[in-house]
Amino acid sequence: MPPGRREPARAGDPYSSRQPTSHERHAGRPWDASYVDGPPPWDIGRPQPAVERLVRQGAFAGAVLDAGCGTGENALHVASLGIRVVGVDVAETAVSLARQKAAARGIDADFVVADALRLDRLGRVFETVLDCGLFHSFDRDERLEYVANLASVTVPGGVLYVLCFSDAGPEPRGPHPVSEEELRAAFTRSPGWSVAAVGPERLQTALAAGAISAWLAKIERFQG
């Protein structure tokens, strides 16, 4: 089987045949383990400032997917404005925490345990998709598979926003930093996408006292 490919899973059982991602192999433990003993370093307990800015700019419209939602802070911030949001994550503990936050805050948002490399199994489509901190965790082969799955759930004319660690800009750098060329290539090699803009950004984490160099990309799904 080619690197990055997955055997089909049985319906209703997302873990039955899911192989560890490159991040999990490198870390030596599954994504869910990152949440069991307390928040992981990428969970800052509030929305990312870049996402808050996108919200103020009216970037989220229609049905919204938060791919790799973690414990849901970004999704809940968007949903608090009355926007329909579905957050998905492969980590069951993270999804459980996100659901608890939604209930405690009285925010209507859906959170689903799902593999980002099998988004087609959601059986839903979205006008806006957010990826905050997921893209850079995949290796080259996984990125191509991930982008194809994003295409399966993004309507023509839809918009994807990607926030990922960058290999450029000031220190500090996050793990698995991505070059602008790598980011663009993942979408230009997959049919139906147009990279509208890529610019420098910062991501807040607990890995360092300050924010970490990142890219913010706006990527559009072709019409027709």
pLDDT at 15: 43
Q: What is the mean pLDDT of residues 22-45?
A: 79
**pTM, whole model, 2 decimals?**
0.88
Lowest mean pLDDT among 37-41, 74-78, 182-186: 37-41
**What is the percentage of the chain residues whose pLDDT exceeds 90?**
70
pLDDT at 6: 34
Q: List, for residues 136-165, the tens digit of each pLDDT value.
A: 999 989 999 999 999 999 999 999 999 999
Q: Which residue has the higher pLDDT, 8 or 140?
A: 140
Cα–Cα distance for residue pair 179/56, rounded to 1 Å: 27
Residue 41: C-alpha distances to residues 151, 152, 223 (Å): 29, 30, 38
pLDDT at 81: 96
Contact (CB, 8 A) for 197 and 189: no
Q: List, in order of start, the domains of the chain with CATH numbers.
A: 22-221 (3.40.50.150)
Cα–Cα distance for residue pair 116/149, rounded to 1 Å: 7
By the 10 Å C-beta count (0-12 exposed, 13-18 middle, 19+ buried), 14 is classed as middle
Cα–Cα distance for residue pair 126/150, rounded to 1 Å: 10
Cα–Cα distance for residue pair 45/42, rounded to 1 Å: 9
Q: Which residue has the higher pLDDT, 25 or 205?
A: 205
Cα–Cα distance for residue pair 77/60, rounded to 1 Å: 11
Cα–Cα distance for residue pair 211/7, rounded to 1 Å: 38
Q: List, for residues 80-131, the tens digit of each pLDDT value.
A: 999 999 999 999 999 999 999 999 999 999 999 999 999 999 999 999 999 9
Cα–Cα distance for residue pair 34/25, rounded to 1 Å: 13
Q: List, for residues 204-216, the tens digit of each pLDDT value.
A: 988 766 689 999 9
